[in-house]
């Protein structure tokens, strides 16, 4: 009996009391992001969609209801939340307001299409609110042994990056493959390059910024970047049509894991090498599948621009060296 009691404290150290709650919040946040992805698929593929009351909205808003229940129920019962979830609860309140405004907006102005899906004022409020909600598990995660990132932190980061990919589809290279010859039908060469370059730089800044912020808190186990980039590629593929681009995302994420393993704490070098390799794989795959449209100068320059964007993000996130104390004479 005494040995059983002695084992209880060690078990509690391995599995803290809040661990189950973290996993529960992560699950309902995943439900919410899945609902957002389904709704994005519907807006993209169903031109006859002319009502607020759809199955896709049903998944989205039941996911929100689950988040609000888990977060709000805990706050009502205990008048507190584990650290990191306060902003998620605020996001739940904002989402409720945004949902009502979205219903009114659709009723008065109809259903948005394409880029208007993001720019609708009611949707922008929902985007901000949803961002506050789904970042909760990552904010609340704590390092495991030493500085090693726990599984929930890696999964939380993958969910956050997938959410960012969902709301930035207007500049998403996996979706708008403007470096493929088919883009010539709708865009001039200059417009295609400008849109492609913007998408590469935006997605690089988001990805490298997220990874480097995690690196400031954790040591990432091998496979973390494969999961983060691969899940984003899969969800984007599910919205727009699953094809070879999912494999490109997985290979690019794996390359990031290899660079992280090789470079260690050489953050600036990693921040250049990771996105440059990722988009080298991306452009190489486009050339193999579709053929080449962009000039070699533009293709290689965009890859270098991805690396430079990552490097600049690493400079911005670098902790400043404290100034030496003033010497009093």
pLDDT for res 321: 62
Concatenated DSSP letters for 214-253? HHHH-BPPTTHHHHHHHHHHHHHHHHH--SHHHHHHHHHH
Other Cβ atoms closer than 10 A to 241: 12
Model pTM above 0.95:
no
- The tokens describing 79, both together, are 């008048």
pLDDT for res 2: 45
- The tokens describing 25, both together, are 């919040």
pLDDT for res 69: 95
In the chain, where the domains are located: 1-140, 143-317
**Would you put residue 292 in left (φ > 0), alpha (ψ -120 to 50) or beta?**
beta
Q: Which residues pair with 148 in a beta bridge?
A: 219
pLDDT for res 121: 83
User: What does the chain come to in residues?
Assistant: 329
pLDDT for res 14: 40
Q: What is the pLDDT of residues 199-254, one digit of tens each?
A: 999 999 999 999 999 999 999 999 999 999 999 999 888 877 778 999 999 999 99
pLDDT for res 6: 45
- Each residue's pLDDT, cut to its tens digit, for the chain (329 residues) gives 444 444 444 434 444 445 889 999 999 999 999 988 887 777 676 666 555 556 767 788 899 999 999 999 999 998 888 888 999 999 999 999 988 887 887 777 776 666 666 777 888 898 899 999 999 999 998 877 778 899 999 999 999 999 999 889 888 998 888 888 887 778 888 999 999 999 999 999 999 999 999 999 999 999 999 999 999 999 888 877 778 999 999 999 999 999 999 998 899 999 999 999 999 999 999 999 998 889 999 999 999 999 999 999 999 998 766 656 655 55
Matching residue, tokens 């979830």: 85
pLDDT for res 151: 92
| Distance in angstroms (rounded) separating the CA atoms of residues 171 and 202 | 7
Other Cβ atoms closer than 10 A to 261: 10
CA distances from 105 to 10, 70, 155 (A): 54, 28, 34
CB 85 within 8 A of CB 71: yes
């Amino acid at each position: 009996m005494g040995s059983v009691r002695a084992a209880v404290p060690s078990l509690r150290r391995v599995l803290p009391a809040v661990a189950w709650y973290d996993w529960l919040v992560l699950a309902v946040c995943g439900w919410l992001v899945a609902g957002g992805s389904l709704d994005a698929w519907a807006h993209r593929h169903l031109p006859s969609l002319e009502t607020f009351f759809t199955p896709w909205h049903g998944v989205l808003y039941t996911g929100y209801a689950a988040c609000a229940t888990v977060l709000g129920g805990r706050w009502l019962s205990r008048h507190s939340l584990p650290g990191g979830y306060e902003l998620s609860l605020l996001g739940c309140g904002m989402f409720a307001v945004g949902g009502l405004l979205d219903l009114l907006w659709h009723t008065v102005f109809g259903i948005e299409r394409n880029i208007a899906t993001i720019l609708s004022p009611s949707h922008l409020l929902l985007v901000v609110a949803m961002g506050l909600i789904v970042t909760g598990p990552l904010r609340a995660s704590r390092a495991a042994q030493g500085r090693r990132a726990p599984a929930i932190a890696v999964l939380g980061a993958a969910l956050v990056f997938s959410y960012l990919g969902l709301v930035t589809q207007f500049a998403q290279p996996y979706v708008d493959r403007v470096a493929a010859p088919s883009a010539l039908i709708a865009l001039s060469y200059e417009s295609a390059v400008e849109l492609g370059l913007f998408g590469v730089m935006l997605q690089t800044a988001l990805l490298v910024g997220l990874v480097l912020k995690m690196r400031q808190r954790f040591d990432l186990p091998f496979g973390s970047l494969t999961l983060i980039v691969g899940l984003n590629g899969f969800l984007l593929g599910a919205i727009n049509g699953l094809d070879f681009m999912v494999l490109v995302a997985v290979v690019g994420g794996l390359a990031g894991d290899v660079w992280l393993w090789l470079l260690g704490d050489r953050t600036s070098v990693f921040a250049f090498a990771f996105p440059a390799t990722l988009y080298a794989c991306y452009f190489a795959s486009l050339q193999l599948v579709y053929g080449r449209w962009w000039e070699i100068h533009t293709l290689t320059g965009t890859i270098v621009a991805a690396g430079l964007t990552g490097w600049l993000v690493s400079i911005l996130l670098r902790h400043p060296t404290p100034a030496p104390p003033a010497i009093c004479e």
